[in-house]
A and B are shown apart, each in its own frame.
Chain A
């Protein structure tokens, strides 16, 4: 199987590296003296106390271009890898909103120049957006979303305290749909000092284990909101990837949503289909982290409560996090019949990808040429 890894956490070597892409005025502002730089990444509330990254993955982990190629792409036989940021994605919710926009632009430019335009054509990435400012986000999607190696839009974290179905976000979905880019929601988007919504209901987590065990809760809320607020009806081509919380919870959530829809569906006439239909058509879930090595039998039973789960899972390693799931482990745990889909084909369909090395999706008509479109996709009904 030609492996596609959709969850690779890359990071700048130091904040100086990012700041090279900032306008001069902000660079000066953030460097008040030669020996001090104002940190821009909001502090993330939870981490594993015995180490949250793989040993030997660089300092900081995921910041060394050649090391990522060697440790991940070469060793795992990865054909395409999507760079999804680490805590760097949290700059999207920086409360100094206008500087936040500049930081996000800098991050996208840094990513393109340092990673996507480098010699290795296996790297792809996502457009980071300052989602607290939807019009600015849409502008940023249109500015860099045409780059042939940008394959989606990353929401970063929750910059507004609202669930993803709110109309506030429409400009983002509109721009994403216009460019044929899917949305990626990452678990943990509620856990930074600037986001006031909580990672869990009934009080935030206290320990990292609690944070990790209930990482599916806020994703559940965001997906429920997207469905119930009719976003998939308003933007029928929009696709969403829920990443970073595994997938063992999916069967219970789909069951629950359908059950509740049967009794309360009349409240939302703008979203007339059963939630599981929206899931199957528009939502995919990242494997990272399935915790494949432990409780494997229960994992499989839970996954198999969803008919056709093998069409909904998309492989992500999570490299270089401490709980990185290498290809062999995932292959060992999941039935052989699923491998081609989970490790390759579902990502190709979801990101509407052509052949390896090719742009992720059709380039706008003018340059695409007749017949040069992507392979037919199960998910995407393309207007052109």
Chain B
């Protein structure tokens, strides 16, 4: 049986109080007032539910069957996650990536910094202490103050269960490859952690827009275009030469789907000479940087018919080295390994399901293969 690595699982708190307990006294007192964090931002931002720019979000983001019976939030209950995800799908490693880290988008830089630190502390004590070796997680990176972001990466990287540095909202309104974020690039590279960018960071209504051309008028328009931030961030890493400065750094694009990738790769390669007019540090063909440094999570995989989708992906066969499997548990559009294996070339599966992730996160795959051999067959959510 192939082991499965799930690089996008959303975990959260049962109540905001769990995180508020880790805040400095100043903010706890602020929160106690009528215009405190809970009142002003709590249930929206602290909870990561600040999808204000998702119009019609009321349709539900979490699968009802993934919500705990006590009425708390989906993804807040380890035993449930263990049963529904880790055990059921033969997951050998799950990267917990919050729900979804929009605390980085709190507009006050000092509040954002303290809240992000509290979230990281909460994560270490409440989840990373669980004696389950399948659990890994991210350090959430505060982005208003890149030097502080770098410090936070270095602080949390000491925990052996931290496997990536997670970027969500670009608080400075610039794409994440911008040189203003170099302290964060350097810290991640020096700590040997991939940088992950998760979909949704632009949804807090900051300077970087959620879509080009205007605000989406409906949820479906937002869905049509929510790959656009991924393109912008990825292009900025290449034009700014981040991978020349940090050749070992991996960039993981999470939950942006994948159909947008082949055309972008061609557009990057066709414009390489033009790019060098302003960005002479772009030494290689951009597709080579994508192949060596960029990884893209598969979910939600835009398959209509598997034939049509394969035609699109097989424009660049090296994409089999780029894609990482993810479920997005416990969200409504979660994918499972069964879904993937039915729709993509069978011979890509070892790479997609675990080999590429082991490479990106620096994990020894033989141990995972050994563990997986004892497990049951591949399962599915349905």
Contact = CB atoms under 8 A, between A and B. Distances in A.
Given A203-B207, A255-B309, A305-B308, A260 B266 contact: no
A217 B175 CA distance: 15
A302 B315 CA distance: 7
B212 A225 contact: no
Given A200-B228, A203-B173, A255-B308, A225 B269 contact: no
Interface stretch (A61-69, A263-271, A361-369): A263-271
A209 interface: yes
B371 to A, nearest CB: 34
A299 B261 CA distance: 14
A201 B202 contact: yes
Given A267-B59, A302-B315, A225 B217 contact: yes
Interface string B299-325: 010111000110110111000000000
Contacts of B175: 202-203
Nearest to B275: A209
B217 A221 contact: no
B84 interface: no
B312 A209 contact: no
B277 A213 contact: no
Contact of B232 (A166, A201, A262): A201
B236 interface: yes
Nearest to A259: B302
Contact of A268 (B218, B275, B279, B309): B218
B198 interface: no
Nearest to A299: B266
Interface string B93-132: 0000000000000000000000000000000000000000
Interface in A198-239: 198-203, 206-210, 212-214, 216-222, 224-225, 228-229
Contacts of B268: 213
A248 B261 CA distance: 11
Interface string A177-198: 0000000000001100000011
B231 to A, nearest CB: 6
B229 interface: yes
Given A201-B228, A207-B239, A248-B267, A267 B56 contact: yes
A268 B56 CA distance: 11
Given A248-B263, A258-B304, A198 B209 contact: yes
B361 interface: no
A261 B309 CA distance: 16
Interface centre among A50, A197, A213, A229 (most CB of B within 10 A): A213
A123 to B, nearest CB: 30
Interface string A238-279: 000000001011011101111111111101100000010000
Contacts of B259: 252, 255-256, 259
B72 interface: no
B229 A165 contact: no
B11 to A, nearest CB: 24
B232 A203 contact: yes
Given A251-B263, A259-B304, A202 B208 contact: yes
B365 interface: no
Contacts of A222: 213-214
A213 B271 contact: yes
Interface string B200-225: 01100001111111111111110111
A35 interface: no
Given A291-B270, A298-B316, A256 B302 contact: yes
A221 B231 contact: no
A301 interface: yes
A206 B237 CA distance: 12
B231 A214 contact: yes
A82 to B, nearest CB: 23
A60 interface: no
A197 B210 CA distance: 11
A305 B311 contact: yes
Contacts of B269: 294-295, 298
A161 B213 CA distance: 7
Contacts of A295: 266, 269-270
Contacts of B213: 158, 163, 189-190, 197-198, 217-222, 225
Nearest to A221: B213
A217 B231 contact: yes
A382 interface: no
B233 interface: yes
B225 A221 contact: yes
A217 B271 contact: no
Contacts of A198: 208-209, 212-213
A162 interface: yes
Contact of B235 (A214, A264, A301, A302): A214
Interface string B157-187: 0000000000000100111001000000000
B170 A48 contact: no
B232 A305 contact: no
A304 interface: yes
A203 B169 CA distance: 11
B228 A220 contact: yes
A225 B235 contact: no
Contacts of B10: none
B96 to A, nearest CB: 24
A248 B217 CA distance: 26
A228 B233 CA distance: 26
Contacts of B209: 197-198, 201-203
A199 B212 contact: yes
B315 A301 contact: yes
A254 to B, nearest CB: 9
Given A201-B232, A252-B259, A208 B311 contact: no
A370 interface: no
B333 A201 contact: no
B262 interface: yes
Nearest 9 pairs of A and B residues by beta carbon: A218-B213, A201-B228, A221-B213, A202-B229, A217-B212, A224-B224, A163-B214, A209-B275, A259-B302
Interface of B: 56, 59, 170, 173-175, 178, 201-202, 207-221, 223-225, 227-229, 231-233, 235-236, 239, 257, 259-271, 274-275, 277-279, 300, 302-304, 308-309, 311-312, 314-316, 333
